[in-house]
A and B are shown apart, each in its own frame.
Chain A
Amino acid sequence: MDGLVIDNVSMVFTLPNGGQVHALEDVSLHLKPGELMAVLGPSGCGKTTLLNIVGGFLAPTAGQALLNGHQVTGPHKERGVVFQQGALFEWMTVAQNVSFGPRMCGVPRAEIKQTVRRLLDTVALRDFADKPVYQLSGGMQQRVALARCLANDPDVILMDEPLGALDALTREKMQGLVLKLWKETGKTIILITHSVEEALFLGERLVVMAPRPGRIHKEYALPFAEQGVGGDARSIKAQPDFIAAREEILSMIWEMEEEIMSGADMG
């Protein structure tokens, strides 16, 4: 089967003290090539665990993840990852970070040079190629991370709260960039977020997860990402149906949080 298949994945963590945490239970999803899926849920719902399994950093207790028909057993350049922050190599310049993947894979120099120039243009960082990454602002650093991930031309891009550490204004701009890159490159993207608005705006598909054990609670198909490509983010987010969806999901998550709180009280 083409695309990314998450097939009945369960994850039970064993703690050092012998206790167990049921992080995921029977999660199944199928992403067709070129789909953008946002994953939303309260903290502790296992969304990052799910991403780590697809990324190949964790082996699920049961079930499996498959990309284009073969099982995910470890990290691979076919699945690029953008982390929340701090995953850039601060001892390298912007260009060296972006070229890291192709360099490791032995791509010819001239080709790497071209790729880096093209990607730095895409993320509007051309003038910063030779700057060390620690001199860049948080938003610029995440643009470097996006470019670095794209340099390897992966089939799937996994984003773990990529905009979570940014201020509201930068975040909004970056959402536009994510949409633009998605449309231009046609990549399959899974984006983990804890922002309802971001999930609604970016997710062509939106999966809301529930905690304890982590599972899929509800799935939506949304029109906003499609409108957001080249469109005006603010006016889309002000639409009545956007606001209605936002309120619905917010109260859904609110209820889950309440449940967790009362559960914690009793426990």
Chain B
Amino acid sequence: MAKRKQPPRWGVWLGIADNSFTRQKTVKFGDASAVNSGRLWSVLTLIILILAWWIATIGGIIDPLFWPPLEGSLYPWDNPNRARPGVVDRFVSLFVDGYRNISLWEHVGTSVKRVLLGVVIGALVGIPLGFAMGLNSVARGLFDPIVEFIRPIPPLALIPLVILWLGIDEVAKIFLLFLAALFIMLIAARAGVNSVQISKVHAAYSLGASKFQVLRYVILPNALPEIFTGLRTSMGVCWGTLVAAELVAADQGVGSMMMIAKNFLQTDVVVIGIIIIGAIGFAIEIFMRMLEAWLIPWKGKG
């Protein structure tokens, strides 16, 4: 029997040749799992984007006010006496010197700390409430109207009220994020309780478990995957809400850094801020996925 030719390894790595999994499939159009990654094209996209950035800002074709040049010193025809720092230089200086007497790490750290605090407090309050609503009719009746009413309100719409109540300091921001996380966690925990297979609960009772033991050893672990999805969602939502909140009022944090930079027409700092926000949001998502795979390996296998 003729052995099929192996595709080159570099081709597989670049995602343009069929790998050993997709190669065995004959039906490919319509089977999403049989589509190669096309990593080559991802690399190409990145290169094109950076090239486009570079070309577009050469010699000031685009006013740096609207879009900053990538690298000021790349343009040899520029007047060497006129400083024209690019994003790369600015990033280095932000990294080394910070922005307005506050280091970049502090800005980022402040933002991340706010998100974590908001999510953690939201989870600590929301999960027990969600459990109570899933398990007890009094709790369900009491909180249902509140939850259903607040659920469709975007957290950002609460900013004016939060500022009126708590001002613009740290507590106000964390309270806003707490509210954003609270309802996501509450709904996730409640869904987790609802998702328990009744046969598991029956089995536990038949094995002599008490109500508390059923809660602790069956309902809680059964709800963990949903709770984790809720954590991931609230991390994402809180990160977005926070940056927006910092844009409104703050003296520290990535959002505030961008807003101050805007006032001084420092477009490069604004763009760097956007990149940092995206990178951290992405990092949070990856971190949560890894944590999930490590903590809840049984997810989806019940």
Q: Of A57, A90, A101, A132, which contacts B208 at CB under 8 A?
A: A101
Interface residues of B in 204-227 (CB under 8 A from A): 204-210, 213, 217-218, 221-222, 224
What chain A residues lie within 8 Å of B221 (beta carbons)?
89, 91
| Given A89-B221, A91-B298: A104 in contact with B199 (beta carbons within 8 A) | no
CB 8 Å contact bits of A30-73 with B (1 = contact, 0 = none): 00000000000000000000000001110000000000000000
A132 to B296, CA, bound (A): 12
What chain A residues lie within 8 Å of B141 (beta carbons)?
none
A152 to B202, CA, bound (A): 15
Contact A104 B206 (CB under 8 A): no
Contact A100 B205 (CB under 8 A): no
Query: Does A86 have its Cβ within 8 Å of any Cβ on chain B?
Result: yes
Contact B202 A148 (CB under 8 A): no
Q: Is chain A's binding surface mostly helix, strand, loop or mixed?
A: loop
A253 shortest CB reach to chain B, Å? 26
Sort chain B's interface into a size bin: 20 to 34
B57 shortest CB reach to chain A, Å? 54
A149 to B218, CA, bound (A): 16
What chain B residues lie within 8 Å of A56 (beta carbons)?
205-206
Query: Does A199 have its Cβ within 8 Å of any Cβ on chain B?
Result: no
What chain B residues lie within 8 Å of A80 (beta carbons)?
206-207
Contact A105 B297 (CB under 8 A): no
What chain A residues lie within 8 Å of B202 (beta carbons)?
55, 57, 75, 81, 83, 87
A100 to B207, CA, bound (A): 7
A112 to B81, CA, bound (A): 82
What chain A residues lie within 8 Å of B296 (beta carbons)?
91
Query: Does A79 have its Cβ within 8 Å of any Cβ on chain B?
Result: yes
What chain A residues lie within 8 Å of B152 (beta carbons)?
none
Query: Does A212 have its Cβ within 8 Å of any Cβ on chain B?
Result: no
What chain A residues lie within 8 Å of B203 (beta carbons)?
81, 83, 87, 148
Query: Does B8 have its Cβ within 8 Å of any Cβ on chain A?
Result: no
Query: Does A230 have its Cβ within 8 Å of any Cβ on chain B?
Result: no
- Chain A residue with the shortest CB-CB distance to B296: A91
A132 shortest CB reach to chain B, Å? 6
Query: Does B5 have its Cβ within 8 Å of any Cβ on chain A?
Result: no
B94 shortest CB reach to chain A, Å? 45
CB 8 Å contact bits of B137-154 with A (1 = contact, 0 = none): 000000000000000000
A252 shortest CB reach to chain B, Å? 30
Contact B197 A86 (CB under 8 A): yes
- Chain B residue with the shortest CB-CB distance to A148: B207
- Chain A residue with the shortest CB-CB distance to B216: A104
A100 to B203, CA, bound (A): 10
What chain A residues lie within 8 Å of B210 (beta carbons)?
104
Q: Of A89, A132, A148, A151, which contacts B297 at CB under 8 A?
A: A132
Contact B302 A90 (CB under 8 A): yes
Count of A interface residues, CB-CB < 8 Å: 26
Query: Does A76 have its Cβ within 8 Å of any Cβ on chain B?
Result: yes
Q: Of B206, B208, B218, which contacts A89 at CB under 8 A?
A: B218
Query: Does B301 have its Cβ within 8 Å of any Cβ on chain A?
Result: yes
Query: Does A117 have its Cβ within 8 Å of any Cβ on chain B?
Result: no
Contact B205 A74 (CB under 8 A): yes
| Given A89-B218, A90-B302, A91-B221: A76 in contact with B208 (beta carbons within 8 A) | yes
Contact B199 A77 (CB under 8 A): no
What chain A residues lie within 8 Å of B298 (beta carbons)?
90-91, 132, 134
Contact A134 B207 (CB under 8 A): no
A31 shortest CB reach to chain B, Å? 18
A120 to B205, CA, bound (A): 22
Query: Does B200 have its Cβ within 8 Å of any Cβ on chain A?
Result: yes
Among all A-B residue pairs, the 8 with the closest Cβ atoms: A77-B208, A101-B207, A134-B301, A75-B205, A87-B199, A91-B221, A104-B209, A90-B298
> Which A residues have a C-beta under 8 Å from some C-beta of B?
55-57, 74-77, 79-81, 83, 86-87, 89-91, 100-101, 104-105, 132, 134, 148-149, 151-152
> Which B residues have a C-beta under 8 Å from some C-beta of A?
197, 199-200, 202-210, 213, 217-218, 221-222, 224, 296-298, 301-302
For the complex with contacts A74-B205, A75-B205, A89-B221, 6 further pairs of A-B residues with Cβ separation under 8 Å are A55-B206, A76-B208, A86-B197, A104-B209, A132-B297, A149-B206
17 contacts between A and B (CB under 8 A): A55-B202, A76-B206, A81-B203, A83-B199, A83-B203, A86-B200, A87-B200, A89-B204, A89-B217, A90-B302, A91-B296, A91-B298, A104-B210, A105-B208, A132-B298, A149-B206, A149-B207
